[in-house]
Structure 1
Amino acid sequence: MRAGCLMPLAVRHKQQPRELCQIMPEFQLSSRNHLHALVWLAFPLVMLATIYLSRYFYLPFYLEWVEGEHGAIENLTALFLLPTILLGILLLTHRDKFPRPYIAIWFLLHGLGALYFAGEEISWGQHFFGWATPEAVDALNDQGETNLHNMTSWLDQKPRLLLVFWAVIGGLILPLLHRLNYLAIGGRDDWRYWIIPPAACMPAAIIVMLVRLPEEIAYAFDRVVLFPFDVRSSEVQELYLALFLSVYLISVYRRAKAAPVFNR
């Protein structure tokens, strides 16, 4: 028996996708969320509206307290990454709940990546404690901060691009394919049940994909970004990448905690 099914549009014939893909029991979108809709749906939308509305109505406040170097966006990004760091490690203690040992390693890698992400976001504490940047680091860092991502794009843009790719593919496209019955996800003995992000990740993933759209459109037509959408879109994108990771691992952890030990 196959655990999953991808059916291209050209191979439908007279059978419906649901009939072809229901070889194993299907789980509806909400079955893997394990989070209240206020957390994964309402909160991301309210937060995005707050960013744009504060820029429109209270620009000085926005520039100092929201978008500033040590403003709410940057600090919330680091804060949202804390659950990913913690749960990426804690899920190792639940490795006997997974059908394959590598699944726990997959989540540990997310935790370690989030640690790097958060550390770089706050310059490993320099933003809070204000120490002087070591001379050796200052000579290489284009912003004179204690971090690595301002030294080379390989430690900044490339990791971000990989994370954006994972958010869009894993957090949006795969759950959508599942919803449209092109991809079946079995029970907890199916690796897809654990690895593929739940539908709760979709709002954050959609915002990750769209938040830079005003900037891209303006660039394509050689125009400036319209106010109030002329935010630092890369920073807002990072905020929602952090939220995507946390929603993903919180959902996995709550499912793993409630699951019985897997009998191999």
Structure 2
Amino acid sequence: MKQIIASTSSAIRSEKKNFRVSNKAVSVLLLTPMLGVLLFTLAWFSPITTKYVQWLVKENHPVEMLTFIFLMVGSILGAYLAYWIKSEKREAPIIGLFLFLFSFGLFVIAMEEISWGQQFLGFLTPDSLNLINEQNETNLHNIKGLQGNSEYFHLFFGLAGAIGVWLNLFILNKVRVPLILSTWFLTIVAVSAVDLYNDFVPFEPEVGYFLRRLSEVNEMMIGFTAFAYVLLLSRKFRKPAPPASLESKVANEKFSPYMNIPL
């Protein structure tokens, strides 16, 4: 047990250096998801705050909009990082390809979150999609067979991240999931597992409704985790160049081709 704790502490210290984050930032990242779910649960079942919390998780309200923003910003940042890696040629091409595909996935999920803009622009759902979409919206996640099964995706995302923290990805090891995001993935797994359990062994109706609303918070955590993952990789790969040493400056001046140009 001591060896595991020592190994974990060593890994976190290494990540703080690689990702250029402070001790305070690491503590916030590790504690926020668990405390967030706990506070949401307490606020939901408190008569004083329940109506405000329910408002937050309604469609097109803050939680859903934050989910979209996190996913979209993560997509843009990831695509730019993939382009930067390709242009600078500092990493293996497969690293850039992975980031591009990951960013494209974030973009698709972000647009699905707002039904590809339908919720804001108000355009009609195409007839072919309208026939198979359970909510008559322009998206894929509500078509027959997929609608109401988002917890499987949530669980997959959480497990992939939680396992990815420790998995040796060989050539992709440089994009391995940071340990400082592990509590986010574990919290996502826990919430998704309870939500999935409720599908097979239903709780009381009021608890079931709470879990459906908590699922919106879970999606926001997924969006933030994806964004934070890309942001940390960006800080890792795009480190500023170390300052030149005095010796190198002298050498550059000594052998500069412009030294003998007459004034």
TM-score, with length taken from structure 2: 0.70
Q: Does the 8 Å contact 2:29/2:180 carry over to 1?
A: yes
Tell me whether 1:112 sits opposite 2:98 in the alignment. no
Which consecutive unaligned segments of at least 5 residues does structure 2 have?
242-263
Q: CA distance change for structure 1 residues 118 and 137 in 2, over 3 Å: closer, same or farther?
A: same
For residue 41 of structure 1, what is the aligned residue in structure 2? 30
The aligned amino acid for 1:168 is: L
- Residue 231 of structure 1, CA deviation: 2.5
Q: Deviations over 1:36-56 (max 9, x none)?
A: 226523443443234223312
For residue 197 of structure 1, what is the aligned residue in structure 2? 177
Tell me whether 1:208 sits opposite 2:188 in the alignment. yes
Q: Does the 8 Å contact 2:155/2:193 carry over to 1?
A: no
2:14 to 20, 28, 51: 28
User: In 2, distance between residues paired with 1:154 and 1:218?
Assistant: 17
For residue 7 of structure 1, what is the aligned residue in structure 2? none
Tell me whether 1:168 sits opposite 2:154 in the alignment. no
User: In 1, distance between residues paired with 2:31 and 2:139?
Assistant: 33
- Give the helix-richer structure, 1 or 2: 2
SS of the residue corresponding to residue 48 of structure 1 reads helix
Q: Deviations over 1:107-149 (max 9, x none)?
A: 1111110111010001112222333334343223110112122
The aligned amino acid for 1:69 is: E
Instruction: Say which is worse superposed, 237-246 or 29-38, in terms of deviation.
Output: 29-38
Q: Deviations over 1:224-258 (max 9, x none)?
A: 37749933144333222212211111111111111
User: In 2, distance between residues paired with 1:109 and 1:150?
Assistant: 23
- Residue 161 of structure 1, CA deviation: 4.4
For residue 89 of structure 1, what is the aligned residue in structure 2? 79
Find the structure with the greater CA-based Rg: 2
User: In 2, distance between residues paired with 1:209 and 1:168?
Assistant: 6
Q: Does the 8 Å contact 2:134/2:144 carry over to 1?
A: no
Greater relative contact order (Cα < 8 A, sep 6+)? 1
Q: Deviations over 1:173-229 (max 9, x none)?
A: 343x48xxxx6x9xxxx7444221111221210111001343445556554377499
TM-score, with length taken from structure 1: 0.70
- Residue 66 of structure 1, CA deviation: 1.9
